[in-house]
Amino acid sequence: MSAIVRSNKRPFFLFLLPGLLIYVFIYIYPMLNGVFYSFTNWNGFGRTFSMVGLTNYLKTFTNMRFYRSLWFTLKYTFFLTVLANGLGLILALILNRELRGKIFFRAMYFFPAILSMVTAGLIWNEIFYRIVPLFGEAIGSEALSSNILGNAKLALYGILWVHIWQYTPQAFVLILAGLQAIPSMVTEAARIDGASPWQVFRYITVPYLIPIFEIVIVLTIKYGFVIFDYIIAMTNGGPGGATESLSVLIYKLGFNEARFSAGCAMSVIMFIIIVALSFSQLSLLREREVIQ
């Protein structure tokens, strides 16, 4: 019996092989390579390098620029996760009802998601420079009367706004799919039993949506942590390093400042943080999941 099962599994394994090879060569090998170089002093240009042990890690942990970037990244990821997914949920709840023109609205809300991140960044660059200040002056807001990307305190929110504008449609589509998968008989039964709309949402909709939340929250945390394109297109980490995320810092160390191995060490640290966050979030949500 077991021999038959094994022989039946072999073609499946063989069909998986190309994907597995791609994964190993594109993800696993570079990652292990990065871990190796994080223990060297390679500058990215040299033919030779020396092993320096944990020096790059120790320097990272005493580098204030790293902590500032980490704080920026954590703050950015938190706001992105809460706001983009919250907005996506609200939109999905609205457009899951019987509304006139809901197909049109669904298509319209998804439009920003089809633009590339750099294109969106460049478009908003001009909007923040030319249009938002006019609006700020009209409403008498000093903060909005100048390009907020040039303000060290507000630049984060400018970038975040563009990211939410573009990412929310993805969260919206996934959550909408989750809403449509909830068996209508369960919600109808709850309503017949006298459940209020809030109780239906709290005790039926949310538990059923948790598998979807697991996906969108992991995706958002990952998008937030590796934020790069918008920053390069809109502020390049400025003003004065105020929007230098971990990814941007790693990139600058490796490609601009000839400190490739230091960048590798920082990447390894960032990888560990993302893994830890993703696992803790998954285990937290699994406890509340509905088993269908």
Partner 1 sequence: MKKGLVVVFMVCLAGSLFAGGQQTGEAGKVELELFLQKTQLREVWDAQVEEFNATNDAGIRVVQTMINPTEAIQVLTTRFASNDAPDVMQHYPTKSAFKLLIVEDRLVDLQNKPYAAYAIPSVVDDIRHKDGSYYAIPITMNMFGIFYNVNKFEEYGLGIPETYAELIALCKRIESLGEVPFIFDDKFTDFPRQQMSVIMALEAPKETWRGIGANEIDPATVPGLRRACQKFLEMREYTEGNTLAVGYEQSVEDFVKGKGLMVMNGIWALPTLNAAEPPFEMSMFPLPADRAEDTRVVGGIDTAYCVCSDTKHPAEADALMDFLCSKERAQHLVDVDGSPGTIKGVVGGAEEIQPLVKATAEKGAAGWVHYNFGAGGDPELERLAQKLVVDKDVDGYIRGLAVMVDNTYESLLQFKQ
Q: What residues make contact with partner 1 under the rule CB under 8 A?
A: 10-11, 14-15, 17-18, 21-22, 43-47, 125, 129, 133, 146-147, 149-152, 235-242, 251-252, 254-260
**Burial class of residue 12 in the structure, from the number of CB atoms within 10 Å of its CB (0-12 exposed, 13-18 middle, 19+ buried):** exposed
Cβ neighbours around 117 below 10 Å, total: 19
CB of 31 to partner 1, least distance (A): 16
CB of 132 to partner 1, least distance (A): 10
d(CA 49, CA 227): 30
Long-range contacts, stretch 44-53, CB < 8 angstroms, 24+ apart: 44/254, 44/255, 44/258, 44/260, 45/258, 49/261, 52/261
> Which of 59, 222 has the CB closer to partner 1?
59
> Which of 163, 252 has the CB closer to partner 1?
252
> Which of 130, 288 has the CB closer to partner 1?
130
CB of 118 to partner 1, least distance (A): 12
> Which of 13, 78 has the CB closer to partner 1?
13
Interacting residues of 179 by C-beta distance below 8 A, sequence separation 6+: 92, 93, 96, 205, 209
Q: What are phi and psi of 40, to 5 degrees?
A: -120, 180
CB of 77 to partner 1, least distance (A): 23
> Which of 130, 202 has the CB closer to partner 1?
130
CB of 164 to partner 1, least distance (A): 21
